[in-house]
Amino acid sequence: MKSELTEIASAVRNAVLPVLGKASASEIVGRGVDGAPSYGVDAVAEKAAMDAVERLALRLNILSEESAYVDKGAAETLVIDPIDGSRNAINNLPFFSVSLAVGSRNLSGIKYGLVMNIVTGDVYYGEKGKGATCNEGPIHTRLFDEKKSVFLVYVGTNASANAYDIMRKSSIVRSFGSAALEMCLIASGSADVFYMRSVDSEHALRIVDIAASSLILREAGGEVFDMTGNIMDMRFDMADRKSVIAVGDRSMRRLSL
């Protein structure tokens, strides 16, 4: 499955890079399944992904951010976020990705996950029970060291006020705008915590945002929790939205309590 997911992600990257910076990339061309605006660059990415799936003749159902659920009667589903970090892409901020996962029913049923940094081409991959890699090399989370900690915290209009309390617990705090890539930074030991708590469920994360990166992080030694401190699980349903805390060192679960 790794080669197929890599081919889909590469097709998206090859389609997206040439349109970056063009006026058409930032035009609103429709609405995604959840009602959020779809930009020109999203449409380009979605088409590239779907064309690649068709070309590969994959026997998988499809759940994508940008289009309706495709039921092919298969046992497993391909969960696609063609561009995670669309607003970065349209503002020429070089941090956005394509996220692809394969599994059944829910987050805990994900078997394969791949996240490609569209700008750099870096590929993060996880397979259930077989570990995680970045560009073919094994990756692992790191133990928490308060003096060297790096927190990635979602901030802005829709962020919970609690986010600012979390930020004060680390001397280095960043907000990059792509949950998939930020969680992969935790998986590779570059950061310690990804904290995304929204003011309401409407602005929380969806399964397409974290399906691949959750598996990658877990296979690298980390964990993903909800805001009650329980291990995160989500249905293959775009209406299921949750705030999350992803950690490299599981002792950091205490931030959710």
Closest CA to 192 of 142, 124, 233: 142
Check residue 37 and give its pLDDT: 80
Check residue 67 and give its pLDDT: 79
Residue 145: phi and psi, rounded to 5, are -130, 110
SS3 59: coil
Q: Positive or negative, the Cα torsion across 33, 37, 40, 42?
A: negative
Confirm if 178 and 95 have CB atoms less than 8 A apart.
yes
Other C-beta atoms closer than 10 Å to the C-beta of 180 total 31
Helix axes 40-56, 2-16, angle to 10 degrees: 150
In the predicted model, residues of the chain with pLDDT beneath 70 are 33-35, 257
Per-residue pLDDT of 125-162, as tens digits, reads 999 999 999 999 999 999 999 999 999 999 989 999 99
CATH code, 2-138: 3.30.540.10
Q: Domain boundaries in the chain?
A: 2-138, 146-256
Q: pTM for this one? A: 0.96
Q: How many residues does the chain have?
A: 257
Radius of gyration from C-alpha coordinates of the chain:
17
Check residue 34 and give its pLDDT: 65
Confirm if 216 and 244 have CB atoms less than 8 A apart.
no
Specify the fold of 146-256.
Answer: D-Maltodextrin-Binding Protein; domain 2 (3.40.190)
Check residue 65 and give its pLDDT: 84
Task: Kindly list the distances between the CA atom of residue 73 and the CA atoms of 43, 79, 100, 105, 187, in Å, as whole numbers in the listed order.
Answer: 25, 15, 19, 13, 33
